[in-house]
Amino acid sequence: MLLTIVTISYNDLPGLKLSIQSLSKFINEFEEIEHVIIDGNSRDGTKDFLENKFCSGFWISEPDNGPCDALNKGITNSKGKYILFLNAGDLIAKELTLEQFRHILNILSSQTFDLVSLKVKNTDINKFIFPPNYSNNIRNKAMSLHHQGTFYFRKIFQEIGGYDEEYGMRGDLEMNLRILTRTNPQIKSIRDIVITEFRGGGMTSSFRGSFIFHKLGFKAYKLYGLHTLKDRGWWLLGCMKIIKRAARLIIKHVS
């Protein structure tokens, strides 16, 4: 098997259906692709849907310890030489053609890169996020290796381990930093193809989610000695806002 597409899902049946639909023509066209779905025991009908409607891949639905645990289950159940992570609600780009996808598969099959990175599109703001430049700035590389736009050589996870549950929603950042600092990865950047589309917002659209996002990012950068005053500033600003909000609630309650 050349490529495994791993989709993790939790209580997002509409998003999961869209992801499956966007993949369908590629799954039907190319035998060297498999689809693995890891559901966290959703309560919105996802399991019934997978049991009765999903017939184009492997799936499990059981409790997990969050997104990183689900991603690790996806890796464990993958057979592909490469893995692409496409979470529920993420889509294969509408403009991606079969010919372009065949070109990508030819690159994956003919050469051994550790990471193959392409453009992705944020559908909320119609903004393209580009693959890495080849500067020496590890931070920039880690951020520009977008999770939904990077094919990971599966054996790299055997060498350095899976996603660290401690980093939650920034597990992808910590993984990229680990790969870039502990190995000497061969990276192929394909700059003229948009591979996936994703929705902005999500957990980071709320204040609490944004605070946790920056906090975990700071923690990941600090682990690898790459944190800056700007990272600490975001974290401290979040702390100040939480304290301010708590003070307002206390004052309101007392009065």
List the domain boundaries for the chain: 3-202, 209-254
| Cα separation, 241 vs 255, whole angstroms | 21
Residue (of 198, 187, 32) closest to 117 by Cα position: 187
Q: Given pLDDT bands bounded at 50, 70 and 90, which one contains residue 210?
A: confident
pLDDT value, residue 96: 97
Residue (of 134, 150, 142, 176) closest to 86 by Cα position: 150
Residue (of 79, 119, 89, 62) closest to 7 by Cα position: 89
pLDDT average, residue stretch 176-194? 93
- Any idea which of 40-44, 76-80, 121-125, 127-131 has the lowest mean pLDDT? 127-131
pTM of the model: 0.88
Judge whether residue 252 has pLDDT over 80.
no
| Cα separation, 152 vs 182, whole angstroms | 15
3-202 belongs to which CATH class? alpha beta
Tell me the pLDDT tens digit for each residue of 14-24.
Answer: 999 999 999 99
Q: Cβ(75)–Cβ(8) under 8 Å? A: no
| Cα separation, 71 vs 135, whole angstroms | 29
Q: What is the mean pLDDT of the chain?
A: 88
